[in-house]
Copies of this chain bind each other. A is one copy, B any other.
Amino acid sequence: MTSGVPDRRRRVREALTAAAIDLFLTKGYEETTVDEIAAAAGVGRRTFFRYFPSKEDVIFPDHEARLLRVAEVFATAPHDEPPLSVACRAVHGVLEAYLDEGVIAVQRYRLTRDFPQLRAREIASAHSYHIAVTRYLVDRVGDEPDGALWAEVAGSAVVAAHNHVLRQYLKAGGKGDVLGKADRAFRYIRETLGVTAARSEEVDDVVVAVMRRGMPLANVMSRIEDALER
């Protein structure tokens, strides 16, 4: 049969992941040995380490692929699209990847919630998205005054919004209108932090005024005049 080889590799890989998730959930992470995972998947212990570099990696099988997708969004984004918009699109892709996983994502959430070692690993994974996003934003606006600071903050905000929406979804066991919530969250981010983006492309300074609804107009005006002169 043609292409039977990569097909088998994929099946073994999935069998290892499935066996590991099952064992981790039932016996606990520390209590499960690699021998047991390999045996449950019908392969030898040595083979396990040919598919995954460490015991932790077995439940994060496609992290690299997701990171590549993010990088691709950045590489192919039109140059006139606002940086934050690109960042939100890229991170939205990660969210979709989680949703595509279905039950697996929920199981992994439980594992990372219950076992510190796996949680630490997930945090590191999430951080690599943060790195990628921030690097892109720095490249776009890094040469402006405080551009690097803005990029760092905006990048972490985008990732935080993603994490928040995703976690709510996973906490609920995979129910809820994730995409709608994500859209709202990303809109909030773009509206709140989109300032430097505008500044970077059109003008040399921006004023942000925050005021309570119901504040007298005269008050509003004086605050804005203050801001414009600052």
CA distance A188 to B109 in the complex (A): 34
Please state if B198 and A206 are interface contacts (CB–CB under 8 Å).
no
| Minimal Cβ-Cβ distance residue in B for A168 | B148
CA distance A189 to B195 in the complex (A): 13
Please name all residues of chain B whose beta carbon is closer than 8 Å to the beta carbon of A228 when the two chains form the complex.
Answer: 213
CA distance A123 to B155 in the complex (A): 16
Least CB distance, A53 to chain B, in whole angstroms: 11
Please state if B211 and A206 are interface contacts (CB–CB under 8 Å).
yes
Please state if B149 and A153 are interface contacts (CB–CB under 8 Å).
no
| Minimal Cβ-Cβ distance residue in B for A220 | B224
Picked from B124, B198, B199, B204, the residue with its CB within 8 Å of the CB of A124 is: B124
Interface of A is mostly: helix
Please state if A205 and B213 are interface contacts (CB–CB under 8 Å).
yes
Please name all residues of chain B whose beta carbon is closer than 8 Å to the beta carbon of A78 when the two chains form the complex.
Answer: none
How many positions in chain A have a CB within 8 Å of any CB in the partner chain?
50
| A43 close to chain B: CB less than 8 A | no
| Minimal Cβ-Cβ distance residue in B for A202 | B212
Please state if B149 and A185 are interface contacts (CB–CB under 8 Å).
yes
Given A120-B124, A207-B211, A211-B206, do A153 and B148 touch, yes or no (CB 8 Å)? Answer: no
Least CB distance, A156 to chain B, in whole angstroms: 4
| Minimal Cβ-Cβ distance residue in B for A191 | B208
Give the contacts of A214-228 with B (CB-CB under 8 A): 214, 217, 220-221, 224, 228
Least CB distance, A80 to chain B, in whole angstroms: 17
Given A198-B210, A206-B210, A209-B211, do A163 and B159 touch, yes or no (CB 8 Å)? Answer: no
Taking A153-B188, A209-B209 as known contacts, 17 extra A-B pairs with beta carbons closer than 8 A to each other, sorted by chain A number, are A124-B124, A146-B184, A149-B165, A149-B185, A152-B160, A153-B161, A156-B156, A157-B160, A191-B210, A192-B208, A198-B212, A203-B212, A207-B212, A209-B210, A209-B211, A213-B228, A217-B221
